[in-house]
Amino acid sequence: MTITDLIDCVRVTFAFLVVFGAVPCLVARISPGDRNLMSFCALAVRTSLFAAIAALGLGSMRICLPGSMLAGYLFLFLMLLWMAGSLEPLWQPQWRAALLHKILVFNENGHGTPRRLSAASGDRLRHWRIVREPAFLLSMFIAVAALSHSLQYVRFLNDQSYSRALSLQKLALGQPWTPDGSVAFLAPVVFLSSLDGATVVRFSGPLFMAVLALAGFAAVRGATGSSPVGLAAAAGLIILTAFSHSAELQAGGIALIFWLTGFSLWARYRWDALWSVALAMLIEPIPELNTVLCVSVILVIVFLARFGEATRRLLQASGTPLATAAIVCLILIPLHRGKTHGSQYNITARTVARITREFPRNTWLVVSPVQEVALTYGHGWHMELSEFVETYTVDEVRRPDFSFKFPVGDTFVFVEKEPLTSRSMASGLSELGPRFDPPMAPYLLRLNRASMQFQAARLLAAYRATHRGTEVFLEDQQLIVYRIRG
């Protein structure tokens, strides 16, 4: 972990809280109606759905940029103010005179008129006492445990995370983009944090994990009336997610948040429950097995708690042990699977991040497997290792008059001294099954990847023998990075 990682984590967390916390609170201040926890959840669903639809629409026109997204939010707030009748007094001179009088009185007295806590305000506070539940403490521990791993490791453990990071980066840069509901509503977080898509995906996942625990708790507690049972259900969801996705929340886990929120809202806010389901389907149009399994587990827990007294007592007693197990899983499972899973060394991802920080934009080229595209997009250029070894030969590059002629100042060639081998890789294409992705497939085959790395090492050894402008940028037991000055 570096100080830069910590600062990036704070920036993403701040932007996340503003987009999914402060904005719904501001909408609640504008809109008439109840101000309790469930109404806040309903407003959070509406604003998230608005962000997703706005980003999808703007992204399809390649104009999903900070200014256009800000204009969308301003339009939303103005519409809400107009619907609430708050804009009408602006045109009345009496209202402007009263506002000026209040400002003058405030300046003269140094403080405003104190407000008494009304009975309605007391009722609203009682609605928010749910934040004292153990599940909120659990969610904070979940966020800390998951963020500790994200601070330590730059690389992802799931190929879907690379695809989502690249998709979000393309969306935020106004580039040609295939609509992706799993990242569209994260566009405001990218703009507010001023970070790239990979960093936002990396640090927002742990925050969504904490929200998932809260959503599971709220759904089960509302259906059973028991906080300990809700705590057990929330912890169970986190354990299932930790095992199924190596504690990296994917599109299915984020969609699950809105499925559970819709379940919680159905009793009092039918339309918002439907909006929540619509957003869940927008994020994950076809629910994956883990989503179906988690929903089934929640329904089974609710059924057992409501219709079986013995199982209800058992679930209530298992809340704290399961919560402890969930925290342990979030810490240990990524550490264990980081040694046996993944398509990228952490030193590789950290080196690419270093290059993006230290070198001017679009003045360098990274030659490496396809996983680094998500980290370099929008910062510099990338050439796939497979193309590099197919384009050049050893006899060609060893000639003293040879030059790669890349139109950049620096070229960084990543060569794995120990070709990556993990359980995420396969011996043949048939073993990849549903994980088959044409761009990534060549690097997920063990022998094919080892062959490309060996050929790249031969090319660089031959080139260095006759060219002095080549140096070792970084080297450790797993990786060597060559820097070729243009």
Using H for helix, E for strand and C for coil, what is the string for the chain? CCHHHHHHHHHHHHHHHHHHHHHHHHHHHHCCCCCCHHHHHHHHHHHHHHHHHHHHHHHHCCCCCHHHHHHHHHHHHHHHHHHCCCCHHHHCHHHHHHHHHHHHHHHHHCCCCCCCCCHHHHHHHHHHHHHHCHHHHHHHHHHHHHHHHHHHCCCCCCHHHHHHHHHHHHHHCCCCCCCCHHHHCCHHHHHHHCCCHHHHHHHHHHHHHHHHHHHHHHHHHHHHCCHHHHHHHHHHHHHHHHHHHCCCCCHHHHHHHHHHHHHHHCCCCHHHHHHHHHHHHHHCCCCCHHHHHHHHHHHHHHHHHHHCHHHHHHHHHCHHHHHHHHHHHHHHHHHHHHHHCCCCCHHHHHHHHHHHHHCCCCCEEEEECHHHHHHHCCCCEEEEHHHHHHHCCHHHHCCCCCCCCCCCCEEEEEEECCCCCCCCCECCHHHHHHHCCCCCHHHHEHHHHHHHHHHHHHHHHHHHHHCCCEEEEEECCCEEEEEEEC
Domain housing 389: 346-485
CA distance 240 to 262: 20
- Number of domains within the chain: 2
By the 8 A CB rule, do 134 and 235 touch?
no
pLDDT of residue 365 exceeding 90: yes
Residues 47 and 189 in one domain: yes
Residue 439 lies in a domain: yes
Residue 427 pLDDT more than 70?
no
> At which of 289, 322, 340 does a domain end?
340
The widest CA-to-CA distance across the chain, in whole angstroms, is 86
pLDDT at 209: 92
More confident residue, 93 or 332: 332
Judge whether residue 172 has pLDDT over 50: yes
**pLDDT recorded at residue 107:** 52
Other C-beta atoms within 10 Å of 391: how many? 11
Query: So what's the pLDDT on residue 441?
Result: 64
Specify the range with the lowest mean pLDDT, choosing from 210-214, 346-350, 464-468, 470-474. Answer: 464-468
Q: Could you give the angle at the alpha carbon of 223 between the alpha carbons of 217 and 227, nearest 5°? A: 45
Q: Which is higher by pLDDT, 469 or 409? A: 409
- Residue 304 and residue 237 share a domain: yes
Taking the CA atoms of 438, 443, 446 and 452 in sequence, report the sign of the dihedral they define.
positive
* 9 domain-assigned: yes
* Domain shared by 177 and 307, yes or no: yes
Long-range contacts of 275-280 (CB under 8 A, 24+ apart): 275/45, 275/46, 275/49, 276/45, 278/49, 279/45, 279/48, 279/49, 279/52, 279/185, 280/255, 280/256
pLDDT at 486 over 80: no
Question: Which pLDDT score, from 0 to 100, does residue 115 have?
Answer: 47
Question: What per-residue confidence (pLDDT) applies to 418?
Answer: 83
In angstroms, the CA 198 to CA 173 distance is 13
pLDDT-above-90 percentage for the chain: 28
Q: Ranked by mean pLDDT, which of 36-45, 277-286, 466-475 comes out on top?
A: 277-286
- Residue 263 sits in the same domain as residue 134: yes
Read off the pLDDT of each residue in 206-218 and give the average, rounded to a whole number. 92
Which pLDDT value is given to residue 429? 46
Is residue 262 packed enough to be buried (19+ CB in 10 Å), middle (13-18) or exposed (0-12)? buried
In the block, residue with structure tokens 């569209």: 184
Predicted TM-score (pTM) of this structure: 0.85
- The Cα 481–Cα 471 span in angstroms is 9
Backbone angles phi, psi at 426, to 5 degrees: -140, 165
More confident residue, 422 or 133: 133
Residue 198: inside a domain, yes or no?
A: yes
Q: Which of 201-215, 384-398, 417-431 has the lowest mean pLDDT?
A: 417-431
Of 300, 322, 340, which marks where a domain is finished? Answer: 340
User: What torsion do the CA atoms of 11, 240, 215, 59 make, to the nearest 10 degrees?
Assistant: 50
112-166 pLDDT, tens per residue? Answer: 444 444 444 444 444 445 556 677 888 888 989 888 888 888 888 888 888 899 9
Answer yes or no: is 114 within a domain: no
In a domain, 283, yes or no: yes
Q: Are residues 333 and 388 in the same domain?
A: no
For residues 192 and 308, membership in a common domain is answered with yes
Residues 319 and 351 in one domain: no
Does residue 288 contact residue 182 with C-beta atoms inside 8 Å? no
Other beta carbons within 10 angstroms of residue 430's beta carbon come to 8
In a domain, 109, yes or no: no
Q: How far apart are CA 198 and CA 186, in angstroms?
A: 11
Q: What gap in Å lies between CA 28 and CA 127, rounded to an integer? A: 15
Q: Do 233 and 291 belong to one domain?
A: yes
Is residue 416 included in any domain, yes or no?
yes
pLDDT: which is higher, 433 or 29: 29
Angle between the N-to-C axes of helices 197-224 and 227-245, in degrees from 0 to 180, rounded to the nearest 10: 150
Please tell me the predicted confidence (pLDDT) of residue 129: 53
Same domain, 314 and 361: no
The answer to the question of residue 91 being in a domain is: no
Which tens digits make up the pLDDT trace of 308-340? 788 888 888 888 899 899 999 888 888 877 666
Predicted confidence at residue 446, as pLDDT, reads: 72
pLDDT over threshold 70, residue 283 = yes
Query: What mean pLDDT value characterizes the chain?
Result: 83
Note whether 227 and 361 are same-domain residues.
Answer: no
Q: How many CA atoms lie within 13 A of 428 on its CB side?
A: 2
Averaged pLDDT for residues 190-209: 92
Mean pLDDT of 233-260: 88
What does the alpha-carbon distance between residue 483 and residue 62 come to, in Å, rounded to a whole number? 34
Place 171 in a pLDDT band, splitting at 50, 70 and 90: very high
Q: Would you call 132 exposed, middle or buried from its count of C-beta atoms within 10 A (0-12, 13-18, 19+)?
A: exposed
Q: Cα–Cα–Cα angle for 448, 452, 458, nearest 5°?
A: 145
Same domain, 350 and 444: yes
Whether the Cβ atoms of residue 464 and residue 482 lie closer than 8 Å to each other: yes
Q: Which of 277, 309, 340 is the last residue of a domain?
A: 340
